[in-house]
Amino acid sequence: MSISPRGEPDRVAQLIADADIAAARVAIATIARRTPTFACEELSTRAGTRVALKAECLQVTGSFKLRGVLAKVAALGARADGGLVTASAGNHARAVAHAARVRGLRCEVFMPRDAAVSKVAAIERLGAKVNLGGASVEDALVLAGECAERLGGALVHPFDDLDVIAGQGTLAQELLEDVPDLARVVVPVGGGGLASGIGIALRRERPQVQLVAVQASACAPYARALAGEQPGDDSPPSPTIADGIAIKRPGELTLPLLRELVSELRTVSEEQIADAMVFLAEHAKLVAEGAGAVAVAALIGAGLEPIDGTTVAVVSGGNVDGGLLAGLLRRQETTEGRRVRLFTRVPDRPGGLAELLNLIAAARANLLTLEHLREGVPLHVRETGVELTLETRGPEHTDAVVAALQAAGYEVDLE
């Protein structure tokens, strides 16, 4: 969808002018990492246009959030001495906890009840106190605001803060320096702080560069708001694999900014996000969480038009649960025919199973699991059923394995 600017032009112009990206760059210089930007030939082929990846998943805390947090803490100055308080689904909280540890500050974090266990543990390891409550980041923000007022700490908002937005804009400055023919930036959108910061930096230095925002279809309040619908309601965000960008409603600062700065907004399905996570692991050797992969999902599956120059997809975060990623990789192997399950019967006598396994080994398939089935399937008196999971090189190899078993007299059912 294309975006038409509307709303508060004077206020938006002032926000763009006030965002101090230069000061933010100084604030992050000694702690945040200048993450690499590199071409991805396989993605370029799939997208039909030249593409590079900005690997913000390699940032110190695993996501771009550290940039905005460091900028905010620097802007707070002595006001941060009372401690930092924040709310987040994970990545922003981790960045705040890291900044607090570097500065020797107390840190109180509020997260939704169903926050990922791995993210909670990572934040606690940094020394922050984690409080779980509410069904969404917005609910957690209410609790964080109350805590900051009660304890006298400084609230660090995850996106709706001009210092945070300026910090995120440092990413775009790196892109402008690293990619001479930069033509388009594709960026995930949750609260909108990253897209706002990137958009401001582009507007100032190279306004012809397009900014494409991407949300998960399951939770896309900006897509509705930028189309002129109500920005959001009080219902919890729909479950999505991209939990890091699941919010109820756009920010008060970021919504008017994105109305002005975004060229186009796309949404991507859960299936497309999962495929993008696997693509990044297999072809770019990058571990990306769901939220971090949506820009790549848009390039693979959302039909962005080819463009002269380089399109950069921002891989915004890599803090993904290992079990989830492993499951997605196994699922992809099954989809591509590299992981198959089959059922057959073997003689119920010594050596009966060994004969089957020798045939599988000779066919160069890898046995992953095997289960004897003696009940619930039709069997002769002197035979047993076996269910096997095999790893093969693909559908043609699978066909060759099955043909070899059938030639030896085995009846094979692929599941």
The CATH number given to 336-414 is: 3.30.70.260
pLDDT for residue 2:
44
pLDDT tens for residues 127-150?
999 999 888 888 899 999 999 999
pLDDT for residue 230:
66
Q: Where in the chain is the domain with CATH 3.40.50.1100?
A: 9-64+161-331, 65-155
The pLDDT-based confidence of 59 (bands split at 50, 70, 90) is: very high
The pLDDT-based confidence of 332 (bands split at 50, 70, 90) is: confident
Instruction: Give the mean pLDDT of 199-204.
Output: 96
Instruction: Give the mean pLDDT of 188-202.
Output: 96
The CATH number given to 9-64+161-331 is: 3.40.50.1100
pLDDT for residue 109:
96
Judged against a pLDDT cut of 70, whether residue 120 lies above it is answered with yes
Q: Is 122 left (phi over 0), alpha (psi -120 to 50) or beta?
A: alpha
Task: Report the alpha-carbon distance of residue 114 to residue 239 in Å, rounded.
Answer: 10
From 217-221, 251-255, 307-311, the region with the lowest mean pLDDT: 217-221
Q: Where in the chain is the domain with CATH 3.30.70.260?
A: 336-414
pLDDT tens for residues 349-404?
888 889 999 999 999 989 998 988 877 677 777 888 889 999 888 889 988 989 99
> Which residues are known catalytic residues?
65, 316
Instruction: Give the mean pLDDT of 230-242.
Output: 69
Judged against a pLDDT cut of 90, whether residue 229 lies above it is answered with no
Domain 65-155: which CATH number of 3.40.50.1100, 3.30.70.580, 3.40.50.300, 3.40.50.1860: 3.40.50.1100
From 48-52, 111-115, 281-285, the region with the lowest mean pLDDT: 111-115
Phi, psi of 373, rounded to the nearest 5 degrees: -125, 110
